[in-house]
A and B are shown apart, each in its own frame.
Chain A
Amino acid sequence: MALDENATDQPESSTTQATAGSGEAAGPATGPAAGENKDDNSQFECNICLDVARDAVISMCGHLFCWPCLHQWLDTRPTRQVCPVCKSSISREKVIPLYGRGGEQTDPRDKAPPRPQGQRTEPPQFGGFPGFNWGGDGAAGGGGGGAGGVQFSFGIGAFPFTMFASTLNFGVGDRRPGAPAAGTRQHDEEQFISKVFIWIAVLFMVWLLLA
């Protein structure tokens, strides 16, 4: 047992040195450093190296590890990736890094092996359909005959009827955003152009039928 005592002597002597050092400095900032060797920090010890966790990561089952330790464990048995404590399924993607305040001065990802990054999700955005509002602003600001108004109409049907429907815009009202109100001069002009095109279409179809 003589050699056992040697083995235990080393950590003990380092503890006393650390406490003595903090006593001489007499500063409150050295308090946490001395406290690291006390038992109350044991809940923040890595489950693999039994030291205070560095580059800490936590598994989904709630067990704390140093990232280098856990990485080596996962590397050791690629076919059986289980938590070293509770043997639940574990993977590189499903561990969360823990960032304490004032702990890391350097980016831990620069070290090998890199610690997996935290996952950020953007909060959801509300307020209409952002993809479908183009045209509305242009019509309001342009003032040049509703130039920006773009309208799509989709239809499924059999040949000549589809043509009527899409050409004549049956059943589809004026759904453009910012369309000119009935009675204005712009509205009258649009109605006139619309009628002209309808007559052109009718003539075209009559020609098609006769030819």
Chain B
Amino acid sequence: MSNIAFQRLQREFKEVITNAEIAQTGIRLDTSDDTLTKLKGEIKGPPDSPYEGGTFKLDIIIPDNYPFHPPKVSFETKIWHPNISSQTGTICLDILKDQWAASLTLRTVLLSVQSLLAAPEPSDPQDAVVAKQCLTHPQMFTETARLWAQVCADAPGERNSQLYKKLTQLMDMGVGKESALSALSCNSWDVSKATEHLFS
């Protein structure tokens, strides 16, 4: 990593950790190694969204030529959102691609991801299945996204009993929590279809 990238990351870290205002927005930054190439981010689900109160972890990989090229950001926590892959966590956000600017920081990137959660853009999807559901069955999308946040991101609130019952039904068959969620959500919460999808 170049010197400019390392020095800048140190400054960004200092800003995120020491600034109380940033802590209020529910953004955290963490690192696992001294080289600062692989970082962990954390954002709170924005209010008035299905993700409210959830804690979402993100993987951040800093390229060698940072800040001239954008960092690679993806969700580690599973999330049901039209612009985020429900399988891999890849984010579709213009500032992480061609609209990147060198003056953007990790803080502004995480803020942008947070506002993406509040304002999904199903017309420019990353996950086609989620986007289709978001456009055709908005009510089911909201319920699904909320249950995902509750199950995967510890979001508070009453779980939708109808959906949660179907989930436990699949989990009782020995299916993992996340794959059961994914199979049910992709098959419009039809248990028989989801089972078929999982075991075929």
Query: Which residues of the partner chain B approach A76 to less than 8 Å between Cβ atoms?
Result: 65, 68-69
Q: Which of A4, A63, A82 contacts B13 (CB 8 A)?
A: A4
Residues of A within 8 A of B (CB): 1, 3-4, 6-8, 10-12, 47-51, 63, 69, 72-73, 76, 80, 82-85, 87
Contact across chains for B31 and A3 when beta carbons are under 8 A apart: yes
Instruction: Count residues of B near A (Cβ-Cβ below 8 Å).
Output: 27
Question: Is B196 positioned at the interface, with any CB of A under 8 Å from its CB?
Answer: no
Query: Complex: how many Å from CA A10 to CA B13?
Result: 11
A-B contact count (CB 8 A): 64
Query: Complex: how many Å from CA A48 to CA B101?
Result: 9
Residue of A nearest to B14 (CB): A8
Contact across chains for B103 and A49 when beta carbons are under 8 A apart: no
Query: Which residues of the partner chain B approach A10 to less than 8 Å between Cβ atoms?
Result: 10
Q: Which of B13, B17, B101 contacts A85 (CB 8 A)?
A: B101
Query: Complex: how many Å from CA A7 to CA B33?
Result: 10
Contact across chains for A6 and B30 when beta carbons are under 8 A apart: no
Residues of B within 8 A of A (CB): 4, 7-14, 17-18, 29-34, 36, 65, 67-69, 98, 101-103, 105
Query: Complex: how many Å from CA A84 to CA B32?
Result: 29
Contact across chains for A82 and B12 when beta carbons are under 8 A apart: no
Contact across chains for B30 and A49 when beta carbons are under 8 A apart: no
Given contacts A48-B67, A76-B68, contact A7 B102 (CB under 8 A): no
Query: Complex: how many Å from CA A104 to CA B69?
Result: 30
